Amino acid sequence: MPSMKALVKIIAAVMPVAAAALEHTSTTAQIRLAYHGNDGMTVSWNTLKHVKHPKVHWGLSEDNLNNTASSDVSVTYPTSTTFNNHVLISGLAPDTTYYYLPSPLSVKCKDARRRPYSFTTSRRTGDQASLSVAVAVDLGTMGSLGLSTTAGNGVSPNNVLKPGEKNTIDSLTSSLSGYQFLWHPGDIAYADYWLKEEIQGYLPNTTIEEGYRVYESILNEFYDEMMAVTATRPYMVGPGNHEANCDNGGTTDKAHNITYNSSICFPGQTNFTGYKNHFRMPSDVSGGTGNFWYSFDNGLVHFIQLDTETDLGHGFIGPDEAGGSGGIGADPVNATMDAQTTWLKADLAAVDRTKTPWIVVAGHRPLYLSHANDSTFCSACHDIFEPLFVEFDVDLYLSGHAHVYERLAPLGLNGTVDPAELNNPTSPWYITNGAAGHYDGLDSLQSPRNPYSRFGLDTHDAVYGWSRLTFHNSTHLTHEFVASNNNTVLDSATLYKAHG
């Protein structure tokens, strides 16, 4: 591995410097919400300067924001162009709509209006009313820094948008009335694709030394785009490999025979730093760890977010950890031995199924999929998570990472198809939907697909989409694949569980 200085010289020699073309500071406040129990909401937003006491003015009427919540949390990291402000509003009534306005909002932001936004709190645990949730994995930035109608050299024409085609953020925005919150279990902005996009000739070339600007530009652009959803719908996230550092597992410039690895990443662009700064998931009220693993109830469902990237414990090295398969080199996030599975078992054991009959778990990587690449899977999950899923009757496991959609049968240990299929199985149901879309698009499912496959879409279908879960009542759950280009449902399946 050549030194950083050598790398800079190499890439500068082959690429003209045009970093200024990608200088992009955020044009919105990147406002995002996160549930904090049934009676709280965390409001997060970004400013260009540090804020000593970020505030959120809120109330039950748009015309009367007669309450104020505040904090002293305004955090950043070395390469960031913004500060992340986090304020918890507590003492709210469940299933109630409130109006709010963060303060301050940067005067440069186009959303620096004085009209309040609104959110609706989580339903009380045990509320059996029908509930719909949107799930998108492997989403990524849309437009000139990410997925658009063109891409760089070597990208399949099937993997770019058609002229005028609606993307997944468009679809989620136009479907806001159809879901309570958006769940995004990993691979969020794909800022770490900046070098890949440059090498493929999609973005203007810069130097390795200036590359952090492009990385931060992509992050800002993504969070700007997402505000159309995340200012009014809670945005619950989980860690994916593309949050871990500035260069995923490394990038090869074949034309110049150079392979870059994570050593090019500046302080602030390793160890999930941006991800840790940007979000505040409710791990403090669920015993979890940061934005990495946590749980929350909403009505008749207990939702669990797991971390398939680090902290697998039990002697396993997480794929994103130093020595892991991803070549990323992140540190564990919890120093306690086997912390994640100890927490998961206790969390599952504490669920009152008379209140929340449904348990849905999400992790970035799949346990099962018709996909040939072993590194796609969370193989350790079969040892550490799956026995707990079976023991505690987890209803559904959602994942992404592979940029495909595949709905499987409910599966017992070792991938044995549950003979009941969707008619009251005793095994978890598995669905992978990593087809939300990002720069360079979709992957292929293996052919023939595995016997447990029930429906799939991949690059041959050239359709981006997201998942909508509808919990009709205590016994029926429908999963739909929603095509982003026109909001039609391309796959629908309903699980029946007697639940006692």
CA distance 295 to 286: 6
Q: Residue 240 CB, nearest distance to Fe ion (Å)?
A: 4
> Nearest Cα to 7, choosing from 170, 297, 155, 209?
209
Q: Residue 403 CB, nearest distance to Fe ion (Å)?
A: 9
- Of 123-131, 182-190, 320-328, 463-471, the segment contacting Fe ion by CB under 5 A is 182-190
CA distance 77 to 376: 30
Q: Which residue of 240, 282, 425, 437 would you call a contact of Fe ion, by CB under 5 A?
A: 240
Counting contacts by CB under 5 A, is residue 248 touching Fe ion? Answer: no
> Nearer Cβ to Fe ion, position 187 or 321?
187
Q: Residue 193 CB, nearest distance to Fe ion (Å)?
A: 11
Let me know: does 32 contact 224? Beta carbons within 8 Å: no
**Which segments of 77-125 are extended strands (E)?**
83-89, 97-103, 117-120
Q: Residue 195 CB, nearest distance to Fe ion (Å)?
A: 17
CA distance 57 to 201: 45
Q: Residue 458 CB, nearest distance to Fe ion (Å)?
A: 16
From residue 396 to residue 435, what is the string marking binding to Fe ion with x (rule CB under 5 A)? -----x----------------------------------
Residue with the CB atom nearest Fe ion in the bound state? 401
Counting contacts by CB under 5 A, is residue 241 touching Fe ion? Answer: yes
> Nearer Cβ to Fe ion, position 187 or 198?
187
The CA R_g of the chain, rounded to the nearest whole Å, is 22
Counting contacts by CB under 5 A, is residue 283 touching Fe ion? Answer: no
- Of 187-195, 227-235, 347-355, 472-480, the segment contacting Fe ion by CB under 5 A is 187-195
Spell 275-291 as b/e; 16+ CB within 10 A means b.
Answer: bbbbbbbbbebbebbbb
Contacts with Fe ion in 460-499 (CB under 5 A)?
none
Q: Residue 328 CB, nearest distance to Fe ion (Å)?
A: 11
Let me know: does 31 contact 66? Beta carbons within 8 Å: no
Start-to-end Cα distance in the chain: 59
The DSSP symbol for 159 reads G
- Of 202-210, 237-245, 271-279, 470-478, the segment contacting Fe ion by CB under 5 A is 237-245
* Residue at token pair 């991800």: 275
> Nearest Cα to 185, choosing from 345, 74, 305?
305
| Sign of the dihedral through C-alpha 499, 292, 233, 468 | negative
- Of 15-23, 176-184, 353-361, 395-403, the segment contacting Fe ion by CB under 5 A is 395-403
Binding region for Fe ion (CB under 5 A)? 187, 240-241, 401
